Amino acid sequence: MRFIPFILLMALALSGCGSDPASKNVEIDAAKLKLFKPLPAKVDVKPGGPEAERVALGRMLYYEPRLSKGHDIACNDCHMLDKYGVDNEPTSEGHKGQKGDRNSPTVYNAALHFTQFWDGRAADVEEQAKGPILNPVEMAMPDEKRVVAVLKSIPGYVTAFKTAFPDQKDPITYDTIANAIGTFERGLLTPSRWDKFLAGDAAAITNEEKAGFNAFLEAGCQTCHMGVLVGGNLYQKMGLAKAYPELADEGRAKVTKSEGDKFFFKVPSLRNIEKTGPYFHDGKVVTLDESVKQMGEYQLGAPLKDEQVKTITTWLKSLTGEIPADYIKKPELPPSGPNTPKPDKG
Amino acid sequence: MKKIITYGLPLLVVVLIVMQFFGPETANPPEDPAATIAAVAKPPVEVINVIDRGCRDCHTNRTSWPWYSRIAPASFLVARDVTKGRAHLNFSEWRGMSPEITALRMTEACIEVTRGDMPLPYYLPAHPEAKLSAGDVKAICSWPEQQK
């Protein structure tokens, strides 16, 4: 008997969705484009010394394995700049091959997130950069002093910090290290065809992609994925509509200790999402299609049909941007000095 | 024709009666007072009033289920709108929102109310208080601007 209202409902639901994404001239609801903004040409940097010098120094530090205990892991090992800022592993290997418990998110466009990390425990990229260097399963340095001592022992860094932070009496500190890395990260932007479209070039995305955008709105994804980054500006419970099966990681509750924040994670940006799998905080989902499908199920409580998933991912691919090849070019790293501590593999 | 009435009508009545025993879930989820839009984003009081009058039944956890929502098949349609309405926008669950996303969601609310797409038109005859005045629309639309 239960299926009688169901049939009535189906008839009603079907009557509502007649037009299919035909490949000719798909209309987009222009007013709703206000909810999505193009990437800025530039992100403001924090105060410090001259910007170009800080960027150059930050770039060196980003690629610098001597910031790790074993002198074998740099930021770029987990966030590869030529691979859209990720390593494409479910979770990453840090010091002595140890695995962390969360997926490495991309560093591209990350400076525009409202907070950093899956659980928002750092306010900005500068504060964030202080984390991995001392994290025992990542770069595993024992303390800030040791990091500063290593850099002070490398003559090339002594000069580079002096030019990047000319006003500082003692230019190499844990703060200036983080400031330089953060300043470099603020330039990691990947403008895409979607930005051209938002700027008024109607032909920058295809009709199939436009149809996908409409399907994204129709499904209600924008309630959590809006704005410049199509995400990155709120925390939401993973499993809002239906409990997510992986409950080991309590997400934001680990930071706030508040019961109400259990299983809340930062909603990720969907820029470059095609390239940054595997997906979710635990890296458990391999394909983009599957992650979109699970979003329908766990976040919206409305399973998506395969065609809906397909058209949505078609649009998502228009968010894949251009990697700034010159900006990320690996610089030459200065040679160690006579007093530079030896790598510690223990 | 006569046959349809003599057999069809009683059958329909039976079906409708039986349907009443299979109502949809209408228990409201709890509302955490610390997690509402009022607590988290502190909108002006006019905005809270408009939400309370025009949107509460479908976009908060404080739905007052109308009399027709207890009668199948209307019950299923109403329940579907409440479920979908909450999934797309829930003013009771504002935990974790930045000012930016609040402004964006209210910008979308402004688009919907300006067009008269929200509140859903079928809802208005039974809820005249939900019909928004020009001033109500203005309250919704000017708040995101003020946040910038």
Interatomic CA distance for residues B53 and A46, integer angstroms: 45
Chain A contacts of B77, Cβ < 8 Å?
9, 12
Nearest one of B60, B64, B69 to B32, comparing CA atoms: B60
Of A5-14, A134-143, A168-177, B58-67, the poorest mean pLDDT is in A5-14
Interatomic CA distance for residues A270 and A279, integer angstroms: 11
| A103 DSSP assignment | P
Inspect the interface and report whether the beta carbons of B95 and A264 lie closer than 8 Å. Answer: yes
Residue A219 is predicted with a pLDDT of 97
Residue A37 binned pLDDT confidence (cut-offs 50, 70, 90): very high
8 Å CB contact between A268 and A236: no
Q: What confidence tens digit (pLDDT) does each residue in A141-173 have?
A: 999 999 999 999 999 999 999 999 999 999 999
pLDDT averaged over every residue in chain A: 94
Residue of B nearest to A242 (CA): B87
Residue B143 is predicted with a pLDDT of 92
Say whether pLDDT at A216 is over 50. Answer: yes
Inspect the interface and report whether the beta carbons of B108 and A32 lie closer than 8 Å. Answer: yes
Chain A contacts of B97, Cβ < 8 Å?
234
Residue % of chain A over a pLDDT of 90: 92
B35 class by beta-carbon count within 10 Å (0-12 exposed, 13-18 middle, 19+ buried):
buried
Residue % of chain A over a pLDDT of 70: 93
Q: In terms of pLDDT, which residue wins out, B3 or A220?
A: A220
Residues of chain A with CATH 1.10.760.10: 22-39+190-319, 51-185
DSSP 3-state of A51:
helix
Chains A, B: CB contacts under 8 A, how many?
A: 74
Q: Is A138 a catalytic residue?
A: yes
Residue A21 binned pLDDT confidence (cut-offs 50, 70, 90): very low
Q: What confidence tens digit (pLDDT) does each residue in A237-264 have?
A: 999 999 999 999 999 999 999 999 999 9
Q: In terms of pLDDT, which residue wins out, B76 or A311?
A: A311
A22-39+190-319, CATH topology level: Cytochrome Bc1 Complex; Chain D, domain 2 (1.10.760)
Say whether pLDDT at A12 is over 60. Answer: no
Residue B148 is predicted with a pLDDT of 58
Superfamily grouping for domain A51-185 = Cytochrome c-like domain (1.10.760.10)
Paired residues of A99 in beta bridges: A93
- Token digits of residue A40: 């800025």
- Token digits of residue A169: 């009496």
Chain A contacts of B104, Cβ < 8 Å?
35, 226-227, 233
Say whether pLDDT at A1 is over 60. Answer: no
Q: What confidence tens digit (pLDDT) does each residue in A311-339 have?
A: 999 999 999 999 999 999 999 999 999 99
| B26 DSSP assignment | -
DSSP 3-state of B52:
helix
Nearest one of A81, A102, A43 to A250, comparing CA atoms: A102
Say whether pLDDT at A229 is over 90. Answer: yes
| Among the partner residues B76, B97, B107, nearest to A9 by beta-carbon distance | B76
Say whether pLDDT at A4 is over 80. Answer: no
Nearest one of A187, A186, A190, A183 to A58, comparing CA atoms: A183
Residue of A nearest to B80 (CA): A9
C-alpha A159: how far from chain center: 32
Place of tokens 């850099």: A151
Say whether pLDDT at A7 is over 70. Answer: no
Chain B contacts of A8, Cβ < 8 Å?
73, 76
